[in-house]
């Protein structure tokens, strides 16, 4: 079964602290993985996709096939990073179906 698990509903850190948002997936083929972010009252925005291997707003994520994980990391959190973060998986079929995790709210305190 295709599934995305984000074990933390809420992650609260102080400004300047490192951040790691966890994402584990279950998929038998070669998944394509994404991180989306939803700031308060704003649209869902793409943050990262694993195949591009780029860093956006200081965030990085590495696909670990052995551990079936795609954790999102940032070395120094900023208050403006406070938002809801969703990890999402797209399978290798051409259906376009995107499976989201339950989301993690990141709260960065001053």
Spatial CA neighbour of 32 closest among 84, 104, 99, 105: 99
Per residue in 46-80, is it b (16+ CB within 10 Å) or e — as a string?
ebbbeeeeeeeeebebebeeeeebbbbebeebeee
Q: Closest separation between CB of residue 27 and another protein, Å?
A: 13
Among 17, 18, 39, 44, binds another protein (CB under 8 A): 44
Among 25, 35, 59, 86, binds another protein (CB under 8 A): 86
Structure tokens that stand for 85 in this block: 């973060």
Greatest Cα-to-Cα distance within the chain, rounded to the nearest angstrom: 44
- Give me the 1-40 binding string for another protein, x by CB under 8 A, dash otherwise: -------------------------------x-x-x----
Q: Closest separation between CB of residue 100 and another protein, Å?
A: 4
Residue with tokens 């959190």: 77
Among 29, 40, 54, 96, binds another protein (CB under 8 A): 96
Residues that bind another protein (CB under 8 A): 32, 34, 36, 42-46, 49, 84, 86, 90, 92, 94-98, 100-103, 105
């Amino acid at each position: 079964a295709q599934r995305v698990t984000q074990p933390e509903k809420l992650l609260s850190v102080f400004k300047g602290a490192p951040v790691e948002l966890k994402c584990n997936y279950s998929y038998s083929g070669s998944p394509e993985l994404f991180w989306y972010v939803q700031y308060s009252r704003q649209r869902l925005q793409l943050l990262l996709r694993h195949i591009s291997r780029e860093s956006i707003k200081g965030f990085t994520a590495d696909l670990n096939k052995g551990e079936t994980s795609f954790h999102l990391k940032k070395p120094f959190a900023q208050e403006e990073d406070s938002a809801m973060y969703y990890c999402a998986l797209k399978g290798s079929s051409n259906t376009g179906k995107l499976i989201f995790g339950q989301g993690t709210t990141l709260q960065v305190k001053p």
